[in-house]
Amino acid sequence: MRIPIIAGNWKMYKTPQEAVDFVQAIKDRLAAYPQAERVICPPYVALAGVQAALDGTEIAVGAQDVHWEEQGAFTSQIAPNMLEGLVKYVIIGHSETRDHQGVTDEMVNKKAKAALAHGLRPIIAVGESLEINEAGQTREFVGKQVHAAFDGIPASDLANVVIAYEPIWAIGTGKSASGEQANDIIGMIRGIIAELYGDEQANAMRIQYGGSVKPKNMTEFMSQPHIDGALVGGASLKEDAFVDLVRLAVEAKGLS
């Protein structure tokens, strides 16, 4: 049984104070769903405040990116050792970092290895553009991203890795994939993990869907056998919506 994981990716939203107010307001409601892992990924400057506000709860904190070096002349970047003790998870390879900051497959792999070496759990995001999707190359493209991301990652680290399949055309557009489409690609990703590491590891790997996930389509995604949770942008910024997403995941997986 894979424990569902619902992660809110806040992107560049909420000041440190707004972030703390938000988690204070929902932490007791989220505590009602221990059957799912609940993760909040605020901007870097809000991490310490959010972590302190969530102290003593089972709600985890995640960062939205990490560099692979431990220090250096990398203006604006944050090293994995700086996040140690502050976060449990770190999103790596989000399409917005691939598109706007030039993050490549090779860098995703380096970031994932650095995160794991520092005891952080990567949420590795993959997904295709509309152009690739329409050209019928989704499987090939996403497959390549997955192979690259896991290059050299030992099986002993896999329990600490989550994958998020996020078709770029579905992010922030209100246009989500259908549950079946997402399940199909996520099943393919699980197949790659099976090829690389064997069936047991593949069956244990948690793979989220992301891209315009809302309370109204959550059940459709969470009812699919391969989808183990969601990486959520917009809807994770609203108190009621985020709590609803967690509740709907728990219900759809028959864990309530």
Based on the residue annotation, tell me whether 226 is a catalytic residue of this protein: no
Q: Report whether 249 contacts 28 (CB < 8 A).
A: no
Q: Which contiguous run of DSSP H or E holds residue 108?
A: helix 105-117
From candidates 145, 183, 212, 217, binder to ligand PGA by CB under 6 A: 212
- Please tell me whether residue 217 binds ligand PGA under the rule CB under 6 A: no
Please give the DSSP secondary-structure letter assigned to residue 27. Answer: H
DSSP code of 44? G
Using the minimum distance from each CB to ligand PGA, give the nearer residue, 49 or 233: 233
Residue 232, interface with ligand PGA (CB under 6 A)?
Answer: yes
Closer of 97 and 202 to ligand PGA (Cβ): 97
Rounded Cα distance between 252 and 67, Å, is 36
| Residue 248 lies near ligand PGA (rule: CB under 6 A) | no
Q: Which of 231, 246, 248, 250 binds ligand PGA (CB under 6 A)?
A: 231
Q: Does 233 participate in binding ligand PGA (rule CB under 6 A)?
A: yes
Angle subtended by helix axes 215-222 and 179-197, to nearest 10? 50
Which of 4, 93, 127, 211 touches ligand PGA by CB under 6 A? 211
Q: CB-wise, 143 or 234, nearer to ligand PGA?
A: 234
Q: Which residues pair with 92 in a beta bridge?
A: 124
Site for ligand PGA in 3-22 (CB under 6 A): 9
8 Å CB contact between 86 and 66: no
Strand partners, 210: 231
- Give the Cα separation of 149 and 34 in Å (integer): 30
d(C-alpha 236, C-alpha 65), whole Å:
18
The one catalytic residue in 94, 96, 128, 220 is: 94
CA dihedral 136, 235, 180, 95 (to 10 degrees): 30
42 binds ligand PGA (CB under 6 A): no
Q: How far is the CB of 122 from ligand PGA (least distance, A)?
A: 14
Does position 182 interact with ligand PGA (CB under 6 A)? The reply is no
By C-beta, is 202 or 208 nearer to ligand PGA? 208
Active site includes 166? Answer: yes
Binding residues (CB under 6 A) for ligand PGA: these are: 9, 166, 171-172, 210-213, 231-235
Residues known to be catalytic: 94, 166
